[in-house]
């Protein structure tokens, strides 16, 4: 039996490990037994701390990893463009080929719990962390996006969090000079007290620049670069792996403080260092679980041992003990394994940038992670035990009881009255004023979205598009984020599928074809069977949709325990898909250009109400089944839209999503240069309903959120040709009417039950005001 470690130089750490201490470290009794078996002895307190962070959900994915194995991590078609060069889970972030020897690396990561407690710093450091994940790969970051979720905006707490998070994201991105180009934001009471802050970064690199987080070659020096270590963020990874409670405010020391200026220097210095051939053996950022995680993971990947001396770690507080130094999550730090004999080259680069570069240890023979403090061993653990041997669980799953009821709900059975003329007239501005649907300019005007001078499609479109110059050639990169929590709450599997397919639809609307997906799984406590069921189903939905469209998953993040005293959040697997547009002329926006365009609805008339914002806003209902989804029809639709864009026929394209058909049409009229009008005839919808053997509902036509619908605005002279092409392509296409220079929206629709007709008109200027002012008004700041 291996001998116990000698006493720790700090006497407070020399305490017997009691069941109470184990519990406080969020470890189960059986996990503690596993630790003892792996070590062959009792762990010291510092070692217990090290295991607790490495085996937290945040680092080990112990409750989700088995589910994640269902994701495709490479392309099924080995000859298709966009092959995966570094797979999900292998490194800090995945890498996908984009041709000509270039590649992109991107990933999304959550900072939900820190943001709930300290919104500005929590969100800012979330951005900082994901940027480090990307430049660690050797990539230069070129864009940021984010997926944010808050409670109802009428609540003062939600406003405070919204204001703080947006400001924190802006601060970090603006300072470091990476444009925040897009994202998605939803407001729903389920996020009250537990906001979601998922930040994405994408970088570009040449294939030969890909770096690995590997420690290899005994004798190679291990460097610590960047900011000094303090007591902030102590145990942040395990903090993120618990439910939020009233006491969470007392966790404030577990929230890190960000310094984007330091990170900018670190970014430039690291990229400069990585550009020197052969200088860097491995590199990893110190994110969650800080020094502990980077040390044991690099050793484990390199199949090596590693020895670090804590006395050499730059510290900004005095008297820190081994537990504190190892578990600190101070920001803007990296671990670099350099080639022995080239230390001076590395140090010169960091000196130029006025940064610490401290040699804190070296790669060793064997497989142990050895940490010494004042010359005394304080941690000796097989690196693989920490990094790869965390327990993996299959949790119990049980369908939540409410699902049987919501799934069976229909408007007919519920005797939900359909809209009349006045109701329809009122519903549109009500929906446009919902903060989820309303304009988000209040948010993105606080983000520098134009730095790097590459944004080709401003925030607010269906997807963001950024122009890059790579090796003298122009490339257009698109990115879309999505996840409608209501659909996931009502049908987790289909909700997951819809998240993927809506992202793909958004990309198609901007003229892009997809490359790969990253996701952030935000769920409740997995030890509650209903929560685990929702996660299992949603992940299955994501995986199935990815396989159907041959979209590889290049990485992501799992955030569990998203619960506040009022309960778990809706399942929210946020998805982001990157894509490419072939030519700048193909970049397509959602708004009309002249007002003379014809509107063509692709995919058929909307007719489902389940999970719609309309039900929420008008009837205070969150019920029904998620709308139907047809992968084959979607593929035809997306291909058709891209083909029509390439043919130069499309002036504007927009998908039908939250708020339904009329919200989508309205948004198409709100051009940056002018407010347009439209004259639409929806009467054939009644006939179509009859032919399909279903009752006609006006509310479902105008505001239902049926999937697979895209509206094109085209020059009227292309109408016949486009309708013919659609027929050939097998895509249902309906001419809806024409745009108008005068800002009036006029809709002729079937009356109730499909009998008679209704004519509804709205002044579009008023609609736009409602849409534009909703968020600034709520935030008392126009």
Partner 1 sequence: MSVAIVQFPGSNCDYDALYAFDSVLGVPARFVWHKETSLGEAEAVVLPGGFSYGDYLRCGAIARFSPIMAAVKEYAANGGLVFGICNGFQILCEAGLLPGALVRNAGLQFRCQTQTIHVEESTEQFNRSKLGARLRVPIAHGEGNYRIDEAGLDDLATHSQILFRYCDATGNVNAVGNPNGSISNIAGIRNRAGNVFGMMPHPERVVEAFHPSVDGIAILRAFLASRLVVEQPGLSQPIALAE
Query: Does residue 444 belong to the site contacting partner 1 (CB under 8 A)?
Result: yes
Minimum CB distance to partner 1, residue 126 (Å): 18
Query: Does residue 471 belong to the site contacting partner 1 (CB under 8 A)?
Result: no
User: For the stretch 165-177, what's the b/e string if a residue is b when 16 or more beta carbons lie within 10 angstroms of its beta carbon?
Assistant: bbebbbbbbbbbe
User: Please, which residue, 96 or 201, has the CB nearer to partner 1?
Assistant: 201
> Which of the ranges 262-270, 296-304, 701-709, 764-772 carries the binding residues for partner 1, by CB under 8 A?
262-270
- Judged by CB under 8 A, the chain residues 157 through 216 that form the site for partner 1 are 167, 170-171, 174-177
Minimum CB distance to partner 1, residue 681 (Å): 34
Query: Does residue 748 belong to the site contacting partner 1 (CB under 8 A)?
Result: no
Among 164, 182, 260, 737, contact with partner 1 (rule: CB under 8 A): 260
> Which of the ranges 327-335, 449-457, 525-533, 598-606 carries the binding residues for partner 1, by CB under 8 A?
449-457
Query: Does residue 226 belong to the site contacting partner 1 (CB under 8 A)?
Result: no
Integer Cα distance of 481 and 502 in angstroms: 9
The token pair that represents 518 in the structure block: 């990253």
Minimum CB distance to partner 1, residue 646 (Å): 18
Query: Does residue 671 belong to the site contacting partner 1 (CB under 8 A)?
Result: no
Query: Does residue 456 belong to the site contacting partner 1 (CB under 8 A)?
Result: yes
Using CB atoms within 10 A of its CB, is residue 555 exposed (0-12), middle (13-18) or buried (19+)? buried
> Which of the ranges 332-340, 446-454, 573-581, 646-654 carries the binding residues for partner 1, by CB under 8 A?
446-454
Query: Does residue 94 belong to the site contacting partner 1 (CB under 8 A)?
Result: no
Integer Cα distance of 425 and 216 in angstroms: 68
Query: Does residue 583 belong to the site contacting partner 1 (CB under 8 A)?
Result: no
Enumerate residues 6+ apart whose C-beta is below 8 A from 693: none
- Judged by CB under 8 A, the chain residues 323 through 352 that form the site for partner 1 are 352
CB atoms inside a 10 Å sphere around CB 770:
20
CA dihedral 262, 263, 265, 271 (to 10 degrees): 160
Residue 521, strand partner residues? 558, 573
DSSP per position, 70-129: TS--S-S-TTSSS-EEE-TTTSSSEEEEEETTEEEEEEEEE-HHHHHHSHHHHHHHHHHH
The residues annotated as belonging to the active site are: 58, 111
Residue 86, strand partner residues? 95
Minimum CB distance to partner 1, residue 581 (Å): 11
**How far are the Cα atoms of 50, 113, 463 from residue 123, in angstroms, in the given order?**
25, 10, 22
Q: Per-residue x/- marks for partner 1, 587-606, CB under 8 A?
A: x-------------------
Query: Does residue 402 belong to the site contacting partner 1 (CB under 8 A)?
Result: no
* Secondary structure (3-state) at 449: coil
Among 348, 450, 647, 692, contact with partner 1 (rule: CB under 8 A): 450
Q: How many residues bind partner 1 (CB under 8 A)?
A: 32
Integer Cα distance of 459 and 447 in angstroms: 10
Residues 513 and 464: beta-carbon distance below 8 Å: no
Minimum CB distance to partner 1, residue 260 (Å): 7
User: Please, which residue, 265 or 508, has the CB nearer to partner 1?
Assistant: 265
Among 116, 161, 262, 685, contact with partner 1 (rule: CB under 8 A): 262
The pairing of beta strand 94-99 with beta strand 221-226: unpaired
Among 109, 121, 368, 448, contact with partner 1 (rule: CB under 8 A): 448
Question: Measuring CA to CA, which residue among 225, 224, 230 is closest to residue 318?
Answer: 230
Angle between helix 492-510 and 631-646 (nearest 10) = 10
Minimum CB distance to partner 1, residue 263 (Å): 10
Minimum CB distance to partner 1, residue 777 (Å): 15
Tally of CA atoms within 13 A in the half-sphere of 443 that contains its CB:
28
User: Please, which residue, 210 or 451, has the CB nearer to partner 1?
Assistant: 451
Enumerate residues 6+ apart whose C-beta is below 8 A from 205: 95, 102, 103, 104, 105, 137, 138, 139, 140
Among 446, 639, 671, 725, contact with partner 1 (rule: CB under 8 A): 446
Among 264, 440, 493, 536, contact with partner 1 (rule: CB under 8 A): 264
> What DSSP element (H or E) covers 265?
helix 260-274
* 624: alpha, beta or left? (left if phi > 0; alpha if psi -120 to 50): left
Query: Does residue 648 belong to the site contacting partner 1 (CB under 8 A)?
Result: no
> Which of the ranges 43-51, 257-265, 298-306, 520-528 carries the binding residues for partner 1, by CB under 8 A?
257-265
User: Please, which residue, 224 or 353, has the CB nearer to partner 1?
Assistant: 353
User: Please, which residue, 459 or 573, has the CB nearer to partner 1?
Assistant: 459
Residues that bind partner 1 (CB under 8 A): 167, 170-171, 174-177, 259-262, 264-265, 352-354, 444-453, 456, 467, 469, 584, 587, 781
């Amino acid at each position: 039996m291996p001998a116990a470690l000698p006493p720790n130089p700090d006497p407070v750490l020399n305490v017997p490990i009691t069941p109470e201490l184990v519990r406080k470290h969020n470890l189960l009794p059986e996990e503690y037994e596993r630790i003892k078996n792996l070590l062959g002895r009792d762990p010291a307190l510092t070692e217990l701390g090290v295991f607790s962070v490495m085996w937290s959900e945040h680092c080990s994915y112990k409750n989700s990893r088995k589910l994640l194995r269902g994701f495709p991590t490479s392309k099924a078609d080995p000859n298709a463009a966009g092959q995966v060069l570094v797979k999900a889970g292998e490194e800090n972030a995945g890498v996908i080929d984009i041709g000509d020897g270039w590649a992109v690396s991107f990933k999304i990561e959550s900072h939900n719990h820190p943001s709930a407690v300290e919104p500005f710093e929590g969100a800012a450091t979330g951005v900082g962390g994901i940027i480090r994940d990307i430049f660690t790969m050797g990539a230069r970051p070129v864009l940021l996006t984010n997926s944010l979720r808050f409670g109802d905006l009428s609540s003062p707490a939600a406003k405070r969090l919204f204001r703080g998070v947006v400001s924190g994201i802006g601060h970090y991105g603006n300072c470091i000079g990476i444009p925040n180009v897009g994202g998605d934001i939803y407001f729903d009471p389920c996020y009250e007290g537990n906001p979601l802050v998922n930040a994405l970064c994408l970088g570009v690199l040449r294939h030969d620049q890909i770096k690995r987080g590997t420690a290899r070659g005994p004798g190679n020096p291990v460097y610590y670069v960047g900011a000094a270590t303090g007591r902030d963020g102590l145990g942040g990874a395990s903090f993120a792996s618990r439910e939020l409670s009233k006491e969470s405010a007392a966790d404030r020391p577990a929230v890190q403080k960000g310094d984007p200026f330091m990170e900018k220097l670190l970014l430039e210095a690291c990229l400069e260092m990585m550009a020197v051939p052969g200088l860097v053996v491995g590199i990893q950022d110190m994110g969650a679980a800080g020094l502990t995680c980077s040390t044991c993971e690099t050793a484990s990947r390199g199949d090596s041992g590693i020895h670090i001396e804590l006395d050499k770690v730059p510290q900004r507080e005095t008297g820190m003990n081994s537990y504190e130094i190892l578990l600190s999550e101070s920001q803007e730090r990296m671990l670099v394994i350099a080639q022995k004999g080239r230390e001076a080259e590395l140090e010169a680069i960091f000196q130029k940038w006025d940064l610490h570069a401290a040699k804190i240890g070296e790669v060793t023979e064997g497989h142990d992670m050895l940490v010494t403090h004042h010359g005394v061993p304080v941690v000796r653990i097989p690196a693989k035990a920490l990094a790869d041997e965390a327990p993996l669980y299959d949790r119990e799953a049980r369908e939540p009881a409410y699902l049987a009821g919501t799934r069976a709900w229909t408007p007919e059975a519920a005797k939900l009255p359909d809209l009349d003329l006045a109701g329809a007239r009122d519903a549109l501005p009500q929906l446009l004023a919902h903060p989820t649907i309303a304009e988000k300019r209040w948010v993105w005007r606080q983000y520098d979205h134009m730095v790097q001078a590459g944004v080709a499609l401003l925030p607010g479109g269906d997807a963001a598009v950024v122009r890059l110059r790579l090796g003298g050639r122009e490339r257009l990169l698109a990115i879309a984020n999505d996840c409608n929590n209501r659909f996931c709450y009502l049908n987790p599997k289909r909700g997951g599928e819809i998240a993927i397919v809506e992202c793909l639809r958004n990309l198609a609307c901007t003229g892009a074809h997809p490359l790969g997906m990253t996701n952030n799984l935000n769920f409740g406590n997995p030890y509650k069977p209903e929560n685990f069921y929702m996660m299992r189903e949603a992940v299955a939905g994501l995986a199935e949709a990815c396989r159907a469209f041959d979209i590889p998953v290049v990485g992501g993040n799992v955030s569990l325990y998203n619960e506040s005293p009022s309960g778990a959040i809706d399942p929210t697997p946020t998805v982001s898909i990157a894509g490419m547009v072939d030519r700048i002329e193909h970049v397509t926006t959602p708004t009309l250009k002249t007002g003379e365009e014809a509107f063509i609805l692709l995919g058929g008339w909307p007719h489902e109400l389940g999970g719609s914002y309309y039900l929420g806003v008008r009837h205070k209902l969150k019920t029904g089944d998620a709308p139907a989804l047809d992968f084959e029809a979607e593929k035809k639709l997306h291909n058709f839209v891209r083909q029509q864009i390439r043919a130069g026929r499309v002036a504007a394209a927009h998908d039908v999503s939250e708020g339904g058909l009329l919200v989508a049409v309205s948004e198409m009229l709100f051009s940056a240069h002018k407010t347009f009008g439209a004259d639409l005839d929806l009467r054939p919808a009644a006939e179509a309903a009859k032919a399909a053997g279903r009752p006609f509902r006006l509310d479902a036509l105008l505001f239902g959120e049926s999937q697979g619908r895209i509206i094109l605005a085209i020059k009227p002279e292309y109408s016949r040709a486009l309708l013919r092409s659609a027929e050939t392509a097998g895509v249902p296409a309906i001419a809806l009417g024409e745009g108008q220079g005068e800002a009036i929206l006029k809709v002729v629709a079937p009356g109730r039950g499909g009998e008679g007709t209704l004519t509804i008109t709205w002044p579009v200027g008023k609609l736009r005001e409602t849409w534009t002012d909703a968020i600034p008004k709520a935030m008392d700041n126009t």
